[in-house]
Structure 1
Amino acid sequence: MYAYFDRDNIALRGLAHFFKESSYEERDHAQKFMEYQNKRGGRVKLQSILMPSSEFDHPEKGDALYAMELALSLEKVTNQKLINLRNVAEQSNDIQMVDFVDSNFLAEQVESIKKISEYVAQLRRVGKGHGVWHFDQMLLHEGDGAA
């Protein structure tokens, strides 16, 4: 999504920045799981994954809303998988794993879902046109305290 919004013919730098930072955060989560797996004596086995979409233009919703809705659905799926993992750990009396998931992921996941849900609501209000540019500018300046 970062690469799409960073393209010269899309040029929504705020959205590009948001998705790039989200990518770094998800990579950090993956590394935490790999380090934890190794620490517990397990083996990390990476497998191929499907290539994600590279185009997000949607006739009715527009690209910004469509991409943000996809991001929201991914966050919700990830949250459910973390809850499932926590439940398995709890059923197995693996208190260390329960603590690892609770302290590293679940609260942050809820915050991400809330934030992206708000972005989806805002993008639904602004529509596909000029409002998306204003939303993008808000995202672009969010980190510097201007928003």
Structure 2
Amino acid sequence: MKLLFLFFVVLTSLGSTLGDGLKCTLKPTDIPSAWIDMVDPCIKALESQVKNEIEAAMTYLAMGAHFARDSVNRPGFSKFFIESASEEREHAIKIIEYLLMRGQLVSDVSKLLKFPLVRKPLREDWNSGVEALSDALNLEAQVTRSIREIIATCENPKNNNFNDYHLVDYLTADFLDEQYKGERDLAGKISTLGKMMSTHGPLGEFLFDKKLLDNHS
């Protein structure tokens, strides 16, 4: 123990004597840039999509918080929308990871999420589960349209002959497929809940909430 203490004292003394001489400094590596081939319209479109996904997540979080209120008390709806918020955040992360894979955002990723560039949730209160699910479906349709616009932009960028086949295929296979399945699921939920409420009134929403809580809807 004494030897360890003595070594620490000597090391501290050397550090104060030599100053910056003991600091490890690494010079930036000169990496060839020929592999970086994304064009500016595609980069800007993807950066904008990160914001769209985060905004959608914020709206879903607002929905989850609304239905978790003691005065509303619909834990199934709250769980469903909180999970939806997590999915939207995952989408934003996947886009950031894709940009990094293609050699973008190497300086400052945080620039994508500076406020107030990311807007507030669309709403903070909903009168019913049907209303919230309808807003969710409209929100997903909006996200789908923005993804389709990115695909159209990157298939034929303006003032550039570069067709980004990889990005188009990635968005079509990974994002659009999930979007369309999610929209169909929401449409089905709206249909089922609407029928249950028309038959059983408020009890229909209560029963539907229990199905959501048990992941049976």
Asked if these proteins are the same fold (TM beyond 0.5), I'd say yes
Relative contact order (alpha carbons < 8 A, sep ≥ 6): 1 or 2 greater?
1
| Structure 1: 5+ residue stretches without partners | 58-62
Partner of 1:120: 190
Amino acid in structure 1 at the alignment position of 2:208: F
Segment of structure 1 superposing worse, 131-140 or 84-93: 84-93
Partner of 1:41: 103
Partner of 2:209: 136
**Alpha-carbon separation, structure 2, partners of 1:103 and 1:118:** 23
| Paired residue secondary structure (1:4) | helix
Partner of 1:69: 134
**Alpha-carbon separation, structure 2, partners of 1:38 and 1:46:** 16
Q: CA RMSD in A?
A: 1.5
Partner of 1:6: 68
**Alpha-carbon separation, structure 2, partners of 1:8 and 1:46:** 32
Partner of 1:100: 170
Report deviation, 1:50.
2.4
Partner of 1:89: 154
Report deviation, 1:77.
0.6
| Structure 2: 5+ residue stretches without partners | 1-62, 158-162
| Paired residue secondary structure (1:83) | helix
Report deviation, 1:103.
2.5
Partner of 1:27: 89
**Alpha-carbon separation, structure 2, partners of 1:94 and 1:50:** 29
Amino acid in structure 1 at the alignment position of 2:120: M
Query: Normalised by the size of structure 2, how large is the TM-score?
Result: 0.60
Report deviation, 1:109.
0.5
Amino acid in structure 2 at the alignment position of 1:20: I
| Paired residue secondary structure (1:17) | helix
Partner of 2:15: none
**Alpha-carbon separation, structure 2, partners of 1:121 and 1:85:** 31
Runs ≥4 in structure 1, deviation > 6 angstroms? none
Query: Normalised by the size of structure 1, how large is the TM-score?
Result: 0.87
**Identity fraction in percent:** 31
**Alpha-carbon separation, structure 1, partners of 2:125 and 2:167:** 38
| Paired residue secondary structure (1:81) | helix
Amino acid in structure 1 at the alignment position of 2:86: Y
